[in-house]
Homo-oligomer: A and B are copies of this chain.
Amino acid sequence: MGSNQLYKGSLATIILKLLGEQGRMYGYQITQEVKAISEGEFVITEGALYPMLHKLEAQGLLSVETEMAGNRMRKYYSITPNGKKEVVNRMAELEDFIRHMQSLLNPKIDLA
């Protein structure tokens, strides 16, 4: 991801959540969508993206359909039932993470 070390570990969560909401997407589309939503801050490199998509597929969290758009190959990924369960866990972890980081790092600003 960008110049920010903090992004490490969040790629799978981002992909799963996005596919859980947007329906099926292909790899390149994911990079563009994430970049747009994050105002150019989350730049997913191919070297990170494709191995992660393959891994999530191997874990049964995503499924794939290969299609041709003209002469161009696209591999559309969709979230599986197991993937949907995983998203719930991941989101809970994200909320915990954010909450704990804020209490650790912003002791003065306390969220109710």
Contacts and interface: CB of A to CB of B under 8 A. Distances in A.
Interface residues of A, number: 32
Query: What number of copies of this chain does the assembly contain?
Result: 2
Contact of A5 (B12, B41, B42, B98): B12
A38 interface: yes
A21 B108 CA distance: 11
A29 to B, nearest CB: 15
Contacts of A7: 9, 97
Contacts of A96: 4, 41
Of A42, A93, A101, most B-chain CB atoms within 10 Å: A101
Interface string A34-75: 100111011000000000000000000000000000000000
